[in-house]
Amino acid sequence: MQKLKVLKITNAVLFFTAVTQAATGLFLFFVAQGPWVETVGEVHRFTGLLLGVLIVTHLYLNWTVIKNHYFTKTVKAAS
């Protein structure tokens, strides 16, 4: 699979995982009672792990861009 295609899929899943992580976190913080708490807690833990893996994958796939943008010296034009 091409790197760009993998990156697009990773970005989409990363977005939905982050939204799920936020929603379940808010639910656990504000509601935290009832029959769904254990299930929501499991979803929150799983998406937290998945979010970590996806962040590392995202950084790996974008490392060249990150390296070029932040770690290369720029030459200043003479004025």
d(Cα 39, Cα 11) in Å, to the nearest integer? 26
One DSSP character per residue, 49-70 reads: HHHHHHHHHHHHHTHHHHHHHH
**Which pLDDT band holds residue 73 (cuts at 50, 70, 90)?**
confident
Does this model's pTM top 0.85?
Answer: no
Closest Cα to residue 20, out of 37, 38, 45? Answer: 45
pLDDT at 77 over 70: no
Question: Structural domain boundaries of the chain?
Answer: 3-70
